[in-house]
């Protein structure tokens, strides 16, 4: 407007200069100058008025905001705190109580911050609900404490209009979550998106952050110790969207685009409460599809005799440690949708296994499962393509029924590969069995390699073992032979050997080829001393003469071929079954199988 007036004035001045009527034009010019000056004055006054109005408007808005903040602090925050507690109590029929510290609500920012949150389950109320209306008494109880909860991206307008929740970030600091199984869950299993109702149905959260949490699970309210416990839990889940589309989305797992999680320690009570599975740090990523576990250990909760007394029979007591355990190509999506475990590869580094069994003071009874039995009883689908075991050490100790001292067998530096470990009938067939290939040093000295093939879905438990034995001194086996088989190898050497066995649920048959030289075998008495009776001396003499003079394939002869024929002892483990087969072949080769 001012620019337009300026141009008008310039035009009038030009008109004044160019006109011949100077006097008349001068009057007009003076009039126009006064008019323009008045316009400028009015314009300046108008501008000042507008600025003043905006100023006072901003002051008014600031005052309203200040009043709103004061009102929120004085009225809304306490109201929100009280409203939250009332809603929790009402929706749960009094089964849960919510206690909070300060509640900070920001309407403009759409945030809610809660300090010192505690959600407490009320067992007495649950008992009343269970008696009056069992359907209202939930099978699982939840107790939760957190030092701080922060929620962003909350639209209070959508909340009032009861629209589905679309939220930003949810952060929980130092949460302590306890899940307690109050009763068996007999409801039909449903995915989470089918269980949620109201504004929670279809909920979206951009990010969930858990800082230094703790998770525990108890199978009964009477159970004091937790069956499952995770400490130092840290997790970040990105873009949670709980609906059917996200559930079926192959790029998601547990309704999330990505999950990164770790725990400082884990502690899992195994069934029958004989053992706990403990680990150090555990980390997983659904993006890389990897899981890493450090310092895993199977820890017995009872001593050898106490364990056997509780089981009511002779039972092997295990100690297992695994410093590093890695899983790759883990299909988290399949796990979240169907509960099936699919893993591309597993690495087991430097594990150690120790086992002890007292067969003298406790009865040997019951039926021990075959590998097929264990796999077929799994309540979920399992597929592991490859397992690589590096530097496994195994030590087995047994107090035999007629022994006075413990027999010992150990194998060191076992390298093993397992492939096609699955219960999927489309992947497991007689032509495509699970295959275990392993090598190791028996008693740390004698080399042995074996390949086991098992159809894990065969109800007859059929499988085969093919292997070879390298050069070695069999006297190293005396730690096992003397207490358990009551025989002792005094001298001799195994040049080489091989074996192949076909096994099923009841029996095993096979052959062993073995080349050896210069054996001297003593058959021991069972009275706890190494001295022999006259009969044993005669048997030892006969065995030695047979081995040395007749069976030793010297002077370039072929290795001796001996049969393997074993009736399975169903009350003993699969490892004992395999050991019995090798021992039978070795004893036949030594010529003492029928003399013991």
pLDDT tens across 336-376, in order?
999 999 999 999 999 999 999 999 999 999 999 999 999 99
Measured CA to CA, the distance from residue 335 to residue 345 in angstroms comes to 16
248: enclosing H helix or E strand: helix 244-248
Q: What is the pLDDT of residue 32?
A: 54
446: enclosing H helix or E strand: strand 446-454
Per the DSSP assignment, residues forming a β-bridge with 278 are 267, 297
Sign of CA dihedral 17, 22, 25, 31: positive
Measured CA to CA, the distance from residue 13 to residue 92 in angstroms comes to 87
Q: Are 146 and 173 in contact (CB under 8 A)?
A: yes
Q: Are 99 and 114 in contact (CB under 8 A)?
A: no
Is residue 135 packed enough to be buried (19+ CB in 10 Å), middle (13-18) or exposed (0-12)? exposed
Q: What is the pLDDT of residue 463?
A: 97
What's the half-sphere exposure (Cβ side, CA atoms, 13 Å) at 458?
20
Measured CA to CA, the distance from residue 189 to residue 218 in angstroms comes to 20
Q: Which of 185, 269, 181, 177 is nearest to 221 (CA)?
A: 181
Measured CA to CA, the distance from residue 166 to residue 155 in angstroms comes to 8
User: What backbone phi and psi angles, to 5 degrees, belong to 76?
Assistant: -70, -45
Q: Which of 176, 154, 173 is nearest to 165 (CA)?
A: 154
What's the half-sphere exposure (Cβ side, CA atoms, 13 Å) at 46?
8
CB neighbourhood size of 100 (10 A) = 18
Q: What is the pLDDT of residue 592?
A: 63
Burial annotation 375-400 (CB, 10 A radius, 16+ → b, else e): beeeeeeebbbbbebeebbbebbbbb
203: enclosing H helix or E strand: none
Task: Flag residues of the chain having pLDDT under 70.
Answer: 1-80, 524-558, 590-596
Measured CA to CA, the distance from residue 150 to residue 105 in angstroms comes to 10
CB neighbourhood size of 175 (10 A) = 20
Sign of CA dihedral 507, 509, 513, 517: positive
- CA torsion, ordered 233, 235, 241, 245, to nearest 10 deg: -90
Helix axes 22-71, 2-18, angle to 10 degrees: 170
Q: What is the pLDDT of residue 77?
A: 55
188: enclosing H helix or E strand: none
């Amino acid at each position: 407007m001012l620019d337009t007036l300026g141009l008008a004035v310039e035009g009038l001045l030009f008109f004044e200069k160019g006109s011949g009527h100077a006097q008349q034009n001068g009057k007009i010019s003076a009039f126009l100058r006064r008019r323009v000056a008045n316009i400028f004055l009015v314009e300046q006054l108008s501008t000042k008025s507008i600025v003043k109005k905006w100023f006072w408007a901003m002051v008014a808005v600031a005052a309203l905001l200040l009043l709103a903040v004061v009102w929120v602090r004085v009225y809304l925050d306490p109201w929100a705190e009280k409203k939250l507690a009332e809603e929790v109590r009402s929706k749960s029929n009094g089964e849960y109580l919510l206690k909070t510290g300060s509640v900070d609500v920001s309407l403009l920012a759409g945030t809610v911050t809660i300090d010192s949150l505690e959600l407490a389950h009320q067992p007495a109320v649950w008992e009343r609900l269970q008696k009056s209306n069992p359907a209202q008494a939930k099978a699982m109880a939840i107790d939760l404490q957190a030092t701080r909860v922060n929620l962003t991206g909350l639209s209070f307008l959508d909340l009032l209009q009861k629209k589905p929740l679309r939220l930003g970030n949810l952060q929980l600091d130092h949460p302590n979550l306890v899940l307690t199984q109050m009763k068996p869950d007999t409801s039909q299993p449903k995915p989470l998106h089918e269980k949620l109702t109201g504004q929670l149905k279809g909920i979206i959260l951009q990010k969930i952050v858990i800082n230094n949490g703790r998770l525990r699970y108890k199978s009964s309210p009477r159970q004091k110790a937790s069956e499952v416990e995770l400490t130092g839990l840290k997790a970040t889940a990105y873009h949670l969207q709980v609906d059917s589309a996200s559930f079926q989305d192959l790029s998601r797992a547990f309704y999330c685009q990505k999950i990164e999680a770790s725990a400082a320690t884990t502690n899992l009570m195994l069934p029958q409460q004989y053992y706990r599975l403990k680990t150090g740090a555990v980390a997983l990523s659904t993006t890389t599809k990897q899981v890493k576990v450090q310092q895993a250990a199977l820890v017995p909760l009872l001593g050898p005799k106490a364990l056997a007394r509780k089981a009511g029979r002779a039972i092997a007591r295990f100690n297992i440690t695994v410093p590093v355990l890695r899983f790759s190509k883990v299909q988290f999506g399949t796990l979240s949708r169907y509960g099936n475990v699919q893993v591309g590869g597993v690495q087991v580094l430097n594990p150690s296994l120790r086992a002890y069994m007292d067969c003298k003071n406790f009865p040997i009874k019951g039926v021990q499962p075959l590998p097929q039995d264990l796999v077929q009883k799994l309540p979920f689908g399992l597929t592991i393509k490859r397992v690589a075991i590096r530097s496994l050490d195994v030590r087995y100790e047994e107090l035999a029924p007629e022994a006075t001292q413990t027999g010992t067998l150990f194998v060191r530096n076992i390298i093993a590969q397992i492939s096609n470990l699955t219960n999927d009938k489309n992947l497991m067939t007689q032509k495509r069995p699970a295959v275990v290939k392993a090598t190791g040093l028996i008693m740390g000295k004698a080399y042995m390699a074996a390949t086991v093939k098992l159809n894990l879905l065969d109800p007859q438990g059929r499988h085969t073992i093919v292997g070879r034995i390298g050069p070695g001194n069999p006297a190293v086996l005396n730690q096992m032979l003397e207490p358990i088989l009551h025989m002792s190898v005094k001298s001799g050497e195994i040049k080489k050997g091989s074996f192949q066995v076909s096994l099923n649920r009841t029996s095993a048959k096979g052959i062993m080829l073995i080349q050896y030289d210069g054996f001297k075998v003593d058959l021991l008495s069972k009275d706890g001393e190494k001295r022999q009776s006259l009969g044993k001396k005669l048997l030892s003499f006969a065995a030695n003469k047979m081995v040395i003079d007749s069976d030793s394939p010297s002077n370039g002869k072929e290795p001796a071929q001996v049969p393997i024929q074993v009736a399975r002892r169903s009350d003993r483990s699969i490892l004992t079954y395999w050991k019995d087969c090798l021992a039978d072949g070795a004893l036949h080769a030594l010529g003492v199988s029928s003399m013991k």
